[in-house]
Structure 1
Amino acid sequence: MTTTYVFLAGASRGVGREIARCLVEQGIQVKALLRSEAARSELEAMGITVVLGDALSAVEVEQAMQETPIQAVISTIGGLPKDGERADYLGNKNLVDAAVKVGAAKFILVSSIGSGESIVALSPQALETLRPVLIEKEKAEQHLIASGLNYTIVRPGGLKSEPATGNAVLTEDPKVSGMIHRADVAHLVCQCLRSDRANHKILSAIDRQMLFVPVEFAEFALR
Protein backbone atom coordinates (compact mmCIF):
# COMPACT_ATOMS: atom_id res chain seq x y z
CA MET A 1 0.00 0.00 0.00
CA THR A 2 1.32 3.45 -0.90
CA THR A 3 2.10 5.65 2.10
CA THR A 4 0.43 9.05 2.11
CA TYR A 5 1.88 11.99 3.96
CA VAL A 6 0.89 15.20 5.67
CA PHE A 7 3.15 17.82 4.13
CA LEU A 8 4.27 20.29 6.81
CA ALA A 9 5.90 23.65 6.10
CA GLY A 10 7.36 25.46 9.11
CA ALA A 11 8.43 22.42 11.15
CA SER A 12 11.85 23.78 12.09
CA ARG A 13 10.55 25.77 15.06
CA GLY A 14 7.61 27.22 16.96
CA VAL A 15 4.08 26.08 16.24
CA GLY A 16 5.28 24.02 13.26
CA ARG A 17 7.61 21.95 15.43
CA GLU A 18 4.81 21.35 17.94
CA ILE A 19 2.51 20.24 15.10
CA ALA A 20 5.21 17.85 13.90
CA ARG A 21 5.36 16.25 17.36
CA CYS A 22 1.58 16.03 17.57
CA LEU A 23 1.24 14.35 14.16
CA VAL A 24 3.97 11.83 14.93
CA GLU A 25 2.33 10.99 18.27
CA GLN A 26 -0.86 10.22 16.33
CA GLY A 27 0.98 7.85 14.01
CA ILE A 28 0.66 10.14 10.97
CA GLN A 29 3.40 10.07 8.34
CA VAL A 30 4.92 13.54 7.98
CA LYS A 31 7.02 15.10 5.25
CA ALA A 32 8.59 18.37 6.37
CA LEU A 33 9.82 21.08 4.03
CA LEU A 34 12.99 22.70 5.39
CA ARG A 35 14.90 25.66 4.00
CA SER A 36 18.19 24.50 5.57
CA GLU A 37 19.78 21.45 7.19
CA ALA A 38 19.64 22.99 10.69
CA ALA A 39 16.65 21.04 12.05
CA ARG A 40 16.97 18.01 9.78
CA SER A 41 18.55 15.56 12.24
CA GLU A 42 16.05 16.36 15.00
CA LEU A 43 13.07 15.87 12.70
CA GLU A 44 14.44 12.68 11.16
CA ALA A 45 15.01 11.32 14.67
CA MET A 46 11.25 11.78 15.19
CA GLY A 47 10.59 9.60 12.12
CA ILE A 48 9.78 12.53 9.83
CA THR A 49 10.76 12.54 6.16
CA VAL A 50 12.64 15.75 5.39
CA VAL A 51 12.88 17.46 2.02
CA LEU A 52 14.98 20.56 1.47
CA GLY A 53 13.44 23.45 -0.43
CA ASP A 54 12.55 27.10 -0.18
CA ALA A 55 8.85 27.91 0.09
CA LEU A 56 9.57 31.11 -1.84
CA SER A 57 10.42 28.95 -4.87
CA ALA A 58 7.31 27.62 -6.60
CA VAL A 59 9.40 25.05 -8.48
CA GLU A 60 11.02 23.68 -5.32
CA VAL A 61 7.71 23.45 -3.47
CA GLU A 62 5.98 21.68 -6.32
CA GLN A 63 8.84 19.21 -6.72
CA ALA A 64 8.85 18.46 -2.98
CA MET A 65 5.13 17.68 -3.00
CA GLN A 66 5.18 15.56 -6.14
CA GLU A 67 7.79 13.10 -4.86
CA THR A 68 5.30 11.29 -2.57
CA PRO A 69 1.48 11.12 -2.28
CA ILE A 70 0.25 14.06 -0.17
CA GLN A 71 -3.00 13.72 1.75
CA ALA A 72 -2.98 17.13 3.41
CA VAL A 73 -0.81 20.23 3.72
CA ILE A 74 -0.25 22.25 6.90
CA SER A 75 1.60 25.56 6.82
CA THR A 76 2.83 27.72 9.69
CA ILE A 77 5.36 29.68 7.67
CA GLY A 78 6.08 33.38 7.86
CA GLY A 79 9.19 35.38 8.52
CA LEU A 80 11.56 38.00 7.28
CA PRO A 81 11.26 39.60 3.84
CA LYS A 82 13.36 38.27 1.00
CA ASP A 83 13.75 40.45 -2.07
CA GLY A 84 10.81 42.51 -0.89
CA GLU A 85 8.51 39.49 -0.40
CA ARG A 86 7.46 37.96 2.92
CA ALA A 87 7.00 34.22 3.18
CA ASP A 88 3.65 34.91 4.83
CA TYR A 89 2.08 35.46 1.42
CA LEU A 90 4.40 34.26 -1.35
CA GLY A 91 5.52 31.11 0.45
CA ASN A 92 1.96 30.16 1.32
CA LYS A 93 0.78 30.99 -2.19
CA ASN A 94 3.34 28.55 -3.58
CA LEU A 95 2.24 25.87 -1.10
CA VAL A 96 -1.42 26.36 -1.98
CA ASP A 97 -0.75 26.23 -5.72
CA ALA A 98 1.31 23.06 -5.36
CA ALA A 99 -1.35 21.47 -3.15
CA VAL A 100 -3.92 22.10 -5.88
CA LYS A 101 -1.69 20.41 -8.46
CA VAL A 102 -1.14 17.28 -6.37
CA GLY A 103 -4.80 17.05 -5.37
CA ALA A 104 -4.34 17.40 -1.61
CA ALA A 105 -7.53 16.65 0.29
CA LYS A 106 -7.08 19.43 2.84
CA PHE A 107 -4.97 22.51 3.53
CA ILE A 108 -4.62 23.97 7.02
CA LEU A 109 -3.13 27.45 7.21
CA VAL A 110 -1.96 28.80 10.57
CA SER A 111 -2.42 32.55 10.29
CA SER A 112 -2.98 35.11 13.08
CA ILE A 113 -5.70 36.93 14.96
CA GLY A 114 -5.79 40.37 13.39
CA SER A 115 -5.96 39.03 9.86
CA GLY A 116 -9.11 39.66 7.84
CA GLU A 117 -12.25 40.44 9.79
CA SER A 118 -10.48 39.62 13.09
CA ILE A 119 -8.69 42.96 12.78
CA VAL A 120 -11.35 44.22 15.21
CA ALA A 121 -9.81 42.05 17.96
CA LEU A 122 -6.56 44.03 18.07
CA SER A 123 -5.76 47.20 19.95
CA PRO A 124 -4.71 50.21 17.85
CA GLN A 125 -1.14 49.82 19.15
CA ALA A 126 -0.94 46.13 18.19
CA LEU A 127 -2.48 46.84 14.82
CA GLU A 128 0.05 49.54 14.05
CA THR A 129 2.93 47.19 14.86
CA LEU A 130 1.58 44.14 13.05
CA ARG A 131 -0.15 45.74 10.07
CA PRO A 132 2.51 44.86 7.41
CA VAL A 133 2.52 41.20 8.48
CA LEU A 134 -1.26 41.00 8.74
CA ILE A 135 -1.71 42.35 5.22
CA GLU A 136 0.45 39.51 3.89
CA LYS A 137 -1.31 36.91 6.01
CA GLU A 138 -4.71 38.06 4.79
CA LYS A 139 -3.52 37.79 1.17
CA ALA A 140 -2.45 34.20 1.88
CA GLU A 141 -5.82 33.41 3.45
CA GLN A 142 -7.70 34.84 0.48
CA HIS A 143 -5.55 32.90 -1.99
CA LEU A 144 -6.29 29.67 -0.12
CA ILE A 145 -10.03 30.37 0.01
CA ALA A 146 -10.11 31.11 -3.73
CA SER A 147 -8.05 28.01 -4.61
CA GLY A 148 -10.93 25.54 -4.44
CA LEU A 149 -9.09 23.43 -1.85
CA ASN A 150 -10.81 22.09 1.23
CA TYR A 151 -9.31 24.42 3.83
CA THR A 152 -9.19 25.35 7.48
CA ILE A 153 -7.65 28.64 8.60
CA VAL A 154 -6.55 28.77 12.23
CA ARG A 155 -5.75 32.21 13.66
CA PRO A 156 -3.91 31.98 16.99
CA GLY A 157 -3.66 34.85 19.42
CA GLY A 158 -0.40 35.92 21.06
CA LEU A 159 1.93 32.95 21.25
CA LYS A 160 3.79 31.56 24.27
CA SER A 161 6.25 28.66 24.36
CA GLU A 162 5.24 27.06 27.66
CA PRO A 163 3.73 23.55 27.94
CA ALA A 164 0.16 22.99 26.76
CA THR A 165 -2.55 24.04 29.22
CA GLY A 166 -5.43 22.11 27.69
CA ASN A 167 -7.58 25.26 27.99
CA ALA A 168 -7.27 26.28 24.34
CA VAL A 169 -10.42 26.65 22.27
CA LEU A 170 -11.50 27.64 18.80
CA THR A 171 -14.17 30.18 17.95
CA GLU A 172 -15.69 31.72 14.85
CA ASP A 173 -16.12 35.00 16.75
CA PRO A 174 -13.63 37.44 15.17
CA LYS A 175 -13.78 39.84 18.13
CA VAL A 176 -12.06 37.50 20.61
CA SER A 177 -8.36 37.89 21.36
CA GLY A 178 -5.89 36.60 23.93
CA MET A 179 -2.79 34.48 24.43
CA ILE A 180 -2.26 30.80 23.64
CA HIS A 181 0.60 28.36 24.03
CA ARG A 182 2.18 27.01 20.85
CA ALA A 183 1.66 23.41 21.95
CA ASP A 184 -2.06 24.07 22.39
CA VAL A 185 -2.26 25.57 18.88
CA ALA A 186 -0.65 22.39 17.58
CA HIS A 187 -3.20 20.17 19.30
CA LEU A 188 -6.06 22.20 17.85
CA VAL A 189 -4.54 22.02 14.36
CA CYS A 190 -4.17 18.24 14.62
CA GLN A 191 -7.82 17.99 15.67
CA CYS A 192 -8.84 20.15 12.70
CA LEU A 193 -7.01 17.77 10.39
CA ARG A 194 -9.36 14.96 11.40
CA SER A 195 -12.54 17.02 11.69
CA ASP A 196 -14.99 17.51 8.84
CA ARG A 197 -16.66 20.25 10.89
CA ALA A 198 -13.51 22.35 10.46
CA ASN A 199 -13.72 22.22 6.67
CA HIS A 200 -14.04 25.65 5.03
CA LYS A 201 -13.85 27.40 8.41
CA ILE A 202 -11.85 30.37 9.69
CA LEU A 203 -11.26 29.90 13.41
CA SER A 204 -9.56 32.00 16.07
CA ALA A 205 -7.52 30.04 18.65
CA ILE A 206 -7.13 31.33 22.19
CA ASP A 207 -6.71 30.03 25.73
CA ARG A 208 -9.97 30.61 27.59
CA GLN A 209 -7.94 31.52 30.71
CA MET A 210 -5.82 34.12 28.90
CA LEU A 211 -8.26 36.46 27.17
CA PHE A 212 -7.15 40.08 26.80
CA VAL A 213 -10.69 41.23 27.59
CA PRO A 214 -13.12 38.92 29.39
CA VAL A 215 -16.01 38.38 26.98
CA GLU A 216 -18.66 35.79 26.32
CA PHE A 217 -18.19 33.91 23.06
CA ALA A 218 -19.30 30.67 21.46
CA GLU A 219 -16.69 27.92 21.33
CA PHE A 220 -16.43 25.97 18.08
CA ALA A 221 -16.82 22.21 18.53
CA LEU A 222 -14.74 20.03 16.21
CA ARG A 223 -16.94 16.99 16.84
Structure 2
Amino acid sequence: MTTPIQVLVTGATGRTGSLVFQKLQQRPQQFIVRGFARSSDKVRQLFGTSDNFFYGDIRDSNTLIEALEGCSALVILTSAIPQVKGIPQPGQRPEFTFPDDEMPQVIDYQGQVNQIDAAKASGIDRIVLVGSMGGTNEKHPLNSIGNGNILIWKRKAEQYLIDSGIDYTIVRAGGLLDQAGGKRELLVGKNDTMLVNPPNGIPTSIPRADVAEVVVQALLAPNARNKAFDLISQPEDAPGTVVTTDFTALFAQTTPGL
Protein backbone atom coordinates (compact mmCIF):
# COMPACT_ATOMS: atom_id res chain seq x y z
CA MET A 1 0.00 0.00 0.00
CA THR A 2 1.35 3.43 -0.95
CA THR A 3 2.41 5.67 1.95
CA PRO A 4 0.28 8.83 2.13
CA ILE A 5 1.95 12.07 1.06
CA GLN A 6 2.39 14.51 3.94
CA VAL A 7 1.40 17.97 2.72
CA LEU A 8 1.44 21.42 4.28
CA VAL A 9 -1.06 23.92 2.88
CA THR A 10 -0.29 27.59 3.56
CA GLY A 11 -3.07 30.11 3.18
CA ALA A 12 -5.39 27.30 4.26
CA THR A 13 -8.07 29.65 5.59
CA GLY A 14 -8.42 31.49 2.28
CA ARG A 15 -11.36 30.86 -0.03
CA THR A 16 -9.33 28.63 -2.35
CA GLY A 17 -6.91 27.35 0.29
CA SER A 18 -9.72 26.03 2.48
CA LEU A 19 -11.09 24.05 -0.48
CA VAL A 20 -7.66 22.52 -1.13
CA PHE A 21 -7.32 21.62 2.56
CA GLN A 22 -10.76 19.98 2.61
CA LYS A 23 -10.15 18.03 -0.60
CA LEU A 24 -6.87 16.66 0.73
CA GLN A 25 -8.58 15.71 4.00
CA GLN A 26 -11.12 13.72 2.02
CA ARG A 27 -8.34 11.46 0.67
CA PRO A 28 -6.77 10.02 3.85
CA GLN A 29 -5.31 7.05 1.99
CA GLN A 30 -3.34 9.38 -0.26
CA PHE A 31 -2.61 12.43 1.91
CA ILE A 32 -1.85 13.48 5.45
CA VAL A 33 -2.61 17.19 5.40
CA ARG A 34 -1.60 20.05 7.67
CA GLY A 35 -2.73 23.64 7.48
CA PHE A 36 -0.80 26.83 8.17
CA ALA A 37 -2.58 30.01 9.19
CA ARG A 38 -2.28 33.14 11.31
CA SER A 39 -5.65 33.04 13.09
CA SER A 40 -6.83 30.12 15.23
CA ASP A 41 -10.26 31.76 15.46
CA LYS A 42 -10.64 31.71 11.68
CA VAL A 43 -9.53 28.07 11.56
CA ARG A 44 -12.18 27.03 14.10
CA GLN A 45 -14.78 29.13 12.32
CA LEU A 46 -14.08 27.41 9.00
CA PHE A 47 -13.34 23.86 10.09
CA GLY A 48 -14.85 23.55 13.56
CA THR A 49 -11.53 22.35 14.97
CA SER A 50 -7.90 23.40 15.02
CA ASP A 51 -6.57 19.86 14.66
CA ASN A 52 -3.67 19.51 12.23
CA PHE A 53 -3.11 23.26 12.05
CA PHE A 54 0.05 25.21 12.73
CA TYR A 55 0.18 28.93 13.30
CA GLY A 56 2.70 31.51 12.19
CA ASP A 57 3.48 34.21 9.68
CA ILE A 58 5.06 33.70 6.26
CA ARG A 59 6.95 36.95 6.82
CA ASP A 60 8.96 35.05 9.46
CA SER A 61 10.36 31.86 7.94
CA ASN A 62 11.23 30.50 11.39
CA THR A 63 7.52 30.03 12.11
CA LEU A 64 7.30 27.55 9.21
CA ILE A 65 9.91 25.10 10.48
CA GLU A 66 7.72 23.05 12.81
CA ALA A 67 4.84 22.96 10.34
CA LEU A 68 7.08 21.61 7.56
CA GLU A 69 8.76 18.93 9.66
CA GLY A 70 8.06 15.49 8.22
CA CYS A 71 6.29 16.82 5.11
CA SER A 72 7.32 15.98 1.58
CA ALA A 73 5.12 18.52 -0.23
CA LEU A 74 4.07 22.14 0.21
CA VAL A 75 1.08 23.89 -1.35
CA ILE A 76 1.40 27.69 -1.39
CA LEU A 77 -1.90 29.56 -1.46
CA THR A 78 -0.90 32.77 0.29
CA SER A 79 -1.58 36.13 -1.33
CA ALA A 80 -1.74 39.80 -0.43
CA ILE A 81 -5.36 40.93 -0.03
CA PRO A 82 -6.38 44.48 -0.93
CA GLN A 83 -8.69 46.38 1.38
CA VAL A 84 -11.23 49.10 0.64
CA LYS A 85 -9.68 52.53 1.14
CA GLY A 86 -11.98 54.77 3.14
CA ILE A 87 -15.73 54.93 2.63
CA PRO A 88 -16.74 55.38 -1.02
CA GLN A 89 -19.22 58.12 -1.80
CA PRO A 90 -22.55 57.10 -3.35
CA GLY A 91 -22.08 56.37 -7.03
CA GLN A 92 -18.29 56.18 -6.77
CA ARG A 93 -16.24 53.06 -7.26
CA PRO A 94 -14.38 51.99 -4.13
CA GLU A 95 -10.60 52.38 -4.06
CA PHE A 96 -8.44 49.56 -2.81
CA THR A 97 -5.09 49.53 -1.08
CA PHE A 98 -2.83 47.19 0.89
CA PRO A 99 -1.75 47.55 4.52
CA ASP A 100 1.84 48.85 4.65
CA ASP A 101 3.17 45.61 6.14
CA GLU A 102 1.19 43.40 3.73
CA MET A 103 2.14 44.85 0.36
CA PRO A 104 2.52 42.35 -2.50
CA GLN A 105 6.31 42.69 -2.39
CA VAL A 106 6.17 41.52 1.23
CA ILE A 107 3.53 38.79 0.90
CA ASP A 108 3.61 37.60 -2.70
CA TYR A 109 7.35 37.81 -3.16
CA GLN A 110 9.28 37.75 0.11
CA GLY A 111 6.62 35.67 1.86
CA GLN A 112 6.78 33.07 -0.89
CA VAL A 113 10.58 33.19 -0.97
CA ASN A 114 10.53 32.50 2.78
CA GLN A 115 8.29 29.50 2.22
CA ILE A 116 10.42 28.13 -0.60
CA ASP A 117 13.64 28.56 1.40
CA ALA A 118 12.12 26.95 4.50
CA ALA A 119 10.80 24.08 2.39
CA LYS A 120 14.20 23.50 0.82
CA ALA A 121 15.88 23.51 4.23
CA SER A 122 13.27 21.01 5.49
CA GLY A 123 13.83 18.56 2.64
CA ILE A 124 10.55 19.21 0.83
CA ASP A 125 10.77 17.74 -2.66
CA ARG A 126 7.60 19.14 -4.20
CA ILE A 127 5.86 22.54 -4.20
CA VAL A 128 2.56 23.42 -5.83
CA LEU A 129 2.10 27.18 -6.06
CA VAL A 130 -1.22 28.79 -7.00
CA GLY A 131 -0.82 32.16 -8.68
CA SER A 132 -2.75 34.36 -11.08
CA MET A 133 -2.86 34.95 -14.80
CA GLY A 134 -1.81 38.37 -16.08
CA GLY A 135 1.80 38.42 -14.91
CA THR A 136 3.20 39.08 -18.39
CA ASN A 137 1.44 42.46 -18.55
CA GLU A 138 2.98 45.15 -16.36
CA LYS A 139 0.02 47.40 -17.16
CA HIS A 140 -2.57 44.88 -15.98
CA PRO A 141 -5.22 46.68 -13.87
CA LEU A 142 -4.49 44.50 -10.84
CA ASN A 143 -0.96 45.93 -10.71
CA SER A 144 -2.35 49.42 -10.17
CA ILE A 145 -4.19 48.51 -6.96
CA GLY A 146 -2.43 50.37 -4.17
CA ASN A 147 0.62 50.68 -6.46
CA GLY A 148 1.28 47.10 -5.41
CA ASN A 149 2.33 45.52 -8.73
CA ILE A 150 0.90 42.31 -7.34
CA LEU A 151 1.13 40.24 -10.53
CA ILE A 152 4.72 41.33 -11.12
CA TRP A 153 5.76 40.19 -7.64
CA LYS A 154 3.87 36.92 -8.01
CA ARG A 155 5.73 36.17 -11.22
CA LYS A 156 9.10 36.97 -9.62
CA ALA A 157 8.27 34.47 -6.87
CA GLU A 158 7.37 31.86 -9.48
CA GLN A 159 10.76 32.30 -11.11
CA TYR A 160 12.41 31.96 -7.69
CA LEU A 161 10.62 28.65 -7.20
CA ILE A 162 11.72 27.38 -10.60
CA ASP A 163 15.32 28.38 -9.84
CA SER A 164 15.22 26.71 -6.39
CA GLY A 165 15.73 23.22 -7.78
CA ILE A 166 12.63 21.87 -6.00
CA ASP A 167 10.11 20.08 -8.22
CA TYR A 168 7.33 22.56 -8.89
CA THR A 169 3.86 22.92 -10.32
CA ILE A 170 2.74 26.52 -10.86
CA VAL A 171 -0.99 26.99 -11.47
CA ARG A 172 -1.90 30.47 -12.71
CA ALA A 173 -5.65 30.69 -12.32
CA GLY A 174 -7.96 33.00 -14.20
CA GLY A 175 -10.71 34.95 -12.49
CA LEU A 176 -11.93 32.91 -9.53
CA LEU A 177 -15.60 31.98 -9.24
CA ASP A 178 -17.44 30.83 -6.13
CA GLN A 179 -19.25 28.10 -8.03
CA ALA A 180 -19.39 24.33 -7.94
CA GLY A 181 -16.49 22.39 -9.42
CA GLY A 182 -16.40 19.27 -11.52
CA LYS A 183 -18.89 20.59 -14.10
CA ARG A 184 -16.62 22.22 -16.68
CA GLU A 185 -13.98 21.54 -19.26
CA LEU A 186 -10.67 22.96 -18.07
CA LEU A 187 -8.25 24.69 -20.43
CA VAL A 188 -4.53 25.23 -19.95
CA GLY A 189 -2.22 27.71 -21.65
CA LYS A 190 0.95 29.72 -21.22
CA ASN A 191 2.12 33.33 -21.01
CA ASP A 192 -1.39 34.79 -20.81
CA THR A 193 -2.24 33.86 -24.39
CA MET A 194 -5.78 32.94 -23.28
CA LEU A 195 -6.16 36.38 -21.70
CA VAL A 196 -5.11 38.13 -24.89
CA ASN A 197 -7.15 35.84 -27.16
CA PRO A 198 -9.78 33.96 -25.14
CA PRO A 199 -10.82 30.72 -26.89
CA ASN A 200 -14.10 31.49 -28.68
CA GLY A 201 -14.29 34.69 -26.64
CA ILE A 202 -15.17 32.87 -23.41
CA PRO A 203 -14.70 34.48 -19.98
CA THR A 204 -11.20 33.82 -18.62
CA SER A 205 -12.48 32.48 -15.32
CA ILE A 206 -12.67 29.25 -13.35
CA PRO A 207 -14.41 28.00 -10.19
CA ARG A 208 -12.20 27.91 -7.11
CA ALA A 209 -13.26 24.31 -6.57
CA ASP A 210 -11.78 23.34 -9.95
CA VAL A 211 -8.51 25.08 -9.11
CA ALA A 212 -8.44 23.15 -5.83
CA GLU A 213 -9.01 19.87 -7.66
CA VAL A 214 -6.16 20.65 -10.08
CA VAL A 215 -3.87 21.22 -7.08
CA VAL A 216 -4.82 17.83 -5.60
CA GLN A 217 -4.36 16.05 -8.92
CA ALA A 218 -1.03 17.80 -9.50
CA LEU A 219 0.29 16.32 -6.25
CA LEU A 220 -0.52 12.85 -7.58
CA ALA A 221 0.42 13.10 -11.27
CA PRO A 222 4.09 12.60 -12.22
CA ASN A 223 3.60 14.57 -15.45
CA ALA A 224 2.52 17.66 -13.49
CA ARG A 225 6.01 18.01 -12.05
CA ASN A 226 8.11 20.94 -13.21
CA LYS A 227 5.26 22.52 -15.16
CA ALA A 228 3.82 26.04 -15.10
CA PHE A 229 0.54 26.91 -16.79
CA ASP A 230 -2.46 29.21 -17.02
CA LEU A 231 -5.82 27.69 -16.12
CA ILE A 232 -9.37 28.68 -17.08
CA SER A 233 -12.59 26.82 -17.82
CA GLN A 234 -15.20 26.61 -20.51
CA PRO A 235 -18.57 27.99 -19.41
CA GLU A 236 -20.66 25.25 -17.84
CA ASP A 237 -23.25 25.44 -20.62
CA ALA A 238 -20.78 25.77 -23.52
CA PRO A 239 -21.78 23.64 -26.54
CA GLY A 240 -19.74 20.48 -26.89
CA THR A 241 -18.14 20.84 -23.45
CA VAL A 242 -16.56 17.68 -22.11
CA VAL A 243 -16.12 17.86 -18.34
CA THR A 244 -12.45 17.36 -17.44
CA THR A 245 -11.86 14.13 -15.53
CA ASP A 246 -8.58 12.96 -17.10
CA PHE A 247 -6.01 15.15 -15.36
CA THR A 248 -3.05 13.19 -16.71
CA ALA A 249 -4.17 14.24 -20.19
CA LEU A 250 -4.64 17.84 -18.99
CA PHE A 251 -1.11 18.01 -17.54
CA ALA A 252 0.28 16.45 -20.74
CA GLN A 253 -0.64 19.75 -22.44
CA THR A 254 1.51 21.79 -20.03
CA THR A 255 5.18 22.69 -20.31
CA PRO A 256 8.17 23.46 -18.06
CA GLY A 257 9.55 26.89 -17.29
CA LEU A 258 7.97 30.22 -16.44
Scaled by the length of structure 1, the TM-score of the pair is 0.82
2:43 touches 2:49 (CA, 8 Å); kept in 1? no
Aligned equivalents of 1:139 and 1:31: distance in 2?
Answer: 26
For 2:114, the aligned partner's letter is N
How far residue 24 of structure 1 moved from its aligned partner, in angstroms, is 1.0
- Aligned residue for 1:166, secondary structure, equals coil
How far residue 103 of structure 1 moved from its aligned partner, in angstroms, is 1.2
* Larger CA deviation: 37-46 vs 6-15: 37-46
How far residue 125 of structure 1 moved from its aligned partner, in angstroms, is 5.7
What is the root-mean-square deviation of aligned Cα atoms in Å? 2.7
2:162 to 145, 154, 161: 145
The match for 1:204 is 230
1:161 aligns with 2:171: no
1:176 aligns with 2:205: no
- Which portions of structure 1, spanning 4 or more consecutive aligned residues, are displaced by more than 4 angstroms? 42-48
Aligned equivalents of 1:90 and 1:204: distance in 2?
Answer: 22
How far residue 137 of structure 1 moved from its aligned partner, in angstroms, is 0.1
- Aligned residue for 2:230, secondary structure, equals strand
Q: How many residues align?
A: 207
Identity %: 29
Q: Which protein is bigger by CA-based radius of gyration?
A: 2
Q: 1:46 to 1:207 in 2, by over 3 A?
A: farther
1:172 touches 1:202 (CA, 8 Å); kept in 2? no
How far residue 222 of structure 1 moved from its aligned partner, in angstroms, is 3.1
1:133 aligns with 2:145: no
1:34 aligns with 2:14: no
Structure 2 unaligned blocks of 5 or more: 81-97, 196-203, 237-246, 253-258
1:98 aligns with 2:137: no
The match for 1:190 is 216
How far residue 22 of structure 1 moved from its aligned partner, in angstroms, is 1.1
How far residue 86 of structure 1 moved from its aligned partner, in angstroms, is 2.9
1:7 touches 1:73 (CA, 8 Å); kept in 2? yes
Q: 1:114 to 1:4 in 2, by over 3 A?
A: same
Scaled by the length of structure 2, the TM-score of the pair is 0.72
- Aligned residue for 1:162, secondary structure, equals coil
How far residue 10 of structure 1 moved from its aligned partner, in angstroms, is 0.7
1:30 touches 1:48 (CA, 8 Å); kept in 2? no
1:24 touches 1:46 (CA, 8 Å); kept in 2? no
Aligned equivalents of 1:41 and 1:151: distance in 2?
Answer: 30
1:72 touches 1:104 (CA, 8 Å); kept in 2? yes
2:6 touches 2:71 (CA, 8 Å); kept in 1? yes
1:60 aligns with 2:80: no
The match for 2:101 is 82
